[in-house]
C-alpha cells in the first residue's frame, strides 16, 4: 500500500513540507514552511499531528531553521540552536516524541561540537540526523505491523481510536500498521474507527487513509463503542500512544481510556502500539504526564459552528491516561511486551 508522508523536506531541502491535516478529508493541501513561527504553529494547531509525526516535524524544523542562521561562530550558533529547541518544545506538551526528537538533535549537535566541527559541518549533521529519524520511523512501522499481526486472525473486527496511521507517522503508522500488514496477507479485517471527539481524527483522518488504501472501514461515534463490542463486532482494540510511562500506563487521545475500560468489560483484548521513541522510562506513571488542555472552542464552536451556547464553559483535555491494568499488550518494533510492564519495558528499552 502507499501511504502519505505527512512531514518531510522539499527537494532543495530548505523547507519543511507538511500535509495540512486540518483540511482533511476535503482537501489534500501541502504547506512549505521555513519560518520557526510557522512550524511551531503547524504543530500547535494540529496541521501536523500524531506523536511520531510531531517529532519528525520538530527535527526537520530544527534543521531548516538552524540552516538559515548566518553566523560561522560555533558558540553563537549553539546559542541560537538552543533557543530553537526550547521554542519548539513549547508547541505541545504531551507526546514525548517531540522532546525525544529535539533531544536527539541536540545530542548530535554536542557530538559534532565535541569533535571540533564547523558550523557548516554541524548543519550537514543536522540534515543527516533528521532524515534518519524519518527513515527509522518508517522501518519501525513495518516491524510494529509484523508483530501486531501475530496477535490477529483473518476476518477479525478491529476497533481503533484517533489516528495512529501513516498520517500520524511517516510510513504505515503504529496502530494501523497491523491492519496494512493484514491487507498484504489477505486478512480481510473489518475495521471500526471511533470518530474521536472533538477534532474527529478518527473520521476525518483514519477512515480517510484506510479507505484510500482499500481497507474495509466503518466510522462510529465515540459513544457507540459499547454497543459494537456488545454485538460481538470487535475482536481486538488497537490504539497508538503519545507516551508510555515506565509502569506501562498509556497516554493517548482523549477517549482512549474509556474504550480500554469497555474492552475489559466485554473481554476484548486492548493492544497499544508504539515505537521506542514513545516509551518514556524517565516518567514513572501516567499521573506524572502533563495533559494538554486545548481551546474550549474546539468543543463549543467545532468546525465553525456553535454547538454550545457561547456563555457556557467547555473543558477540553486532549489526552487521557489508560491505566496499565487495562492494557493486554504493548506492541513495539522490538517485540510484544506483556505485564508486568515495569520490568518488561525496562528489559527491552533501558539503555
- Residues marked as catalytic: 242
Q: Is residue 169 a contact residue for ligand MRU (CB under 6 A)? A: yes
Segment interacting with ligand MRU, rule: CB under 6 A, options 26-34, 107-115, 169-177, 307-315: 169-177
Residue 236: count other Cβ atoms within 10 Å of its Cβ: 21
- The residue at minimum Cβ distance from ligand MRU is 240
Residues 257-316 that bind ligand MRU (CB under 6 A): none
Go through the chain and tell me how many residues it has: 351
> For residues 203 and 241, which CB has a smaller minimum distance to ligand MRU in the complex?
241
DSSP H/E element including 280: strand 279-280
> For residues 84 and 175, which CB has a smaller minimum distance to ligand MRU in the complex?
175
Spatial distance between the Cα atoms of 176 and 347, rounded to a whole number of angstroms: 26
> For residues 46 and 84, which CB has a smaller minimum distance to ligand MRU in the complex?
46
Q: Is residue 171 a contact residue for ligand MRU (CB under 6 A)? A: no
Q: In 115-215, which ranges are continuous DSSP H helix?
A: 119-149, 177-184, 201, 207-212
- Smallest CA-to-CA distance from 136 within 210, 193, 190, 59 is with 59
Q: Is residue 166 a contact residue for ligand MRU (CB under 6 A)? A: no
Alpha carbon separation from 48 to 8, 93, 170 (Å, rounded):
11, 15, 11
Q: Is residue 237 a contact residue for ligand MRU (CB under 6 A)? A: no
Q: Is residue 243 a contact residue for ligand MRU (CB under 6 A)? A: no
How many residues of this chain bind ligand MRU (CB under 6 A)? 19
Closest contact distance (angstroms) between CB of 194 and ligand MRU is 11
Spatial distance between the Cα atoms of 253 and 17, rounded to a whole number of angstroms: 25
313 burial (CB, 10 Å; 0-12 / 13-18 / 19+) is exposed
> For residues 108 and 197, which CB has a smaller minimum distance to ligand MRU in the complex?
197
Closest contact distance (angstroms) between CB of 242 and ligand MRU is 4
- In a 13 Å sphere around the CA of 322, the CA atoms on its Cβ side amount to 32
> For residues 318 and 336, which CB has a smaller minimum distance to ligand MRU in the complex?
318
CA 215 to the chain's CA centroid = 21
Q: Is residue 324 a contact residue for ligand MRU (CB under 6 A)? A: no
Task: Provide the binding-site residues for ligand MRU, judged by CB under 6 A.
Answer: 46, 49-52, 95, 162, 164, 168-169, 173-174, 201, 240-242, 252-253, 318
Amino acid at each position: 500500500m502507499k501511504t502519505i508522508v505527512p512531514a518531510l523536506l522539499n527537494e532543495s531541502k530548505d523547507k519543511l513540507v507538511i500535509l495540512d491535516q486540518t483540511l482533511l478529508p476535503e482537501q489534500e493541501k501541502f504547506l512549505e514552511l521555513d519560518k520557526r513561527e510557522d512550524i511551531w504553529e503547524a504543530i500547535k494547531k494540529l496541521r501536523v499531528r500524531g506523536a511520531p509525526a510531531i517529532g519528525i516535524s520538530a527535527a526537520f524544523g530544527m534543521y531548516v531553521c538552524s540552516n538559515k542562521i548566518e553566523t560561522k561562530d560555533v558558540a553563537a550558533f549553539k546559542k541560537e540552536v538552543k533557543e530553537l529547541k526550547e521554542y519548539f518544545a513549547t508547541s505541545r506538551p504531551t507526546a514525548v516524541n517531540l522532546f525525544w526528537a529535539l533531544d536527539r538533535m541536540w545530542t548530535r549537535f554536542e557530538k559534532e561540537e565535541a569533535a571540533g566541527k564547523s558550523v557548516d559541518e554541524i548543519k550537514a549533521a543536522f540534515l543527516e540526523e533528521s532524515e534518519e529519524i524519518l527513515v527509522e520511523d518508517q522501518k519501525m512501522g513495518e516491524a510494529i505491523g509484523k508483530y501486531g499481526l501475530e496477535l490477529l486472525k483473518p476476518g477479525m473486527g478491529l476497533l481503533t481510536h484517533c489516528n495512529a496511521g501513516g498520517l500520524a507517522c511517516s510510513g504505515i503508522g503504529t496502530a494501523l500498521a497491523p491492519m496494512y500488514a493484514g491487507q498484504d496477507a489477505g486478512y480481510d479485517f473489518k475495521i471500526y474507527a471511533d470518530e474521536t471527539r472533538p477534532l474527529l481524527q478518527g473520521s476525518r483522518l483514519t477512515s480517510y487513509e484506510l479507505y484510500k488504501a482499500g481497507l474495509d472501514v466503518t466510522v462510529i461515534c465515540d459513544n457507540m463503542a459499547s454497543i459494537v463490542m456488545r454485538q460481538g463486532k470487535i475482536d481486538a482494540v488497537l490504539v497508538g500512544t503519545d507516551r508510555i510511562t515506565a509502569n506501562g500506563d498509556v497516554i493517548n487521545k482523549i477517549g482512549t481510556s474509556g474504550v480500554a475500560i469497555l474492552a475489559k468489560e466485554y473481554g476484548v483484548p486492548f493492544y497499544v502500539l508504539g515505537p521506542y521513541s514513545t516509551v518514556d522510562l524517565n516518567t514513572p506513571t501516567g499521573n506524572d504526564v502533563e495533559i494538554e488542555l486545548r481551546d474550549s472552542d474546539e468543543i463549543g464552536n467545532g468546525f465553525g459552528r456553535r454547538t454550545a451556547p457561547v456563555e457556557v464553559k467547555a473543558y477540553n483535555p486532549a489526552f487521557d491516561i489508560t491505566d496499565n491494568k487495562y492494557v493486554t499488550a504493548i506492541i513495539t518494533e522490538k517485540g510484544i511486551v506483556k505485564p508486568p510492564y515495569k520490568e518488561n519495558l525496562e528489559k527491552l528499552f533501558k539503555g
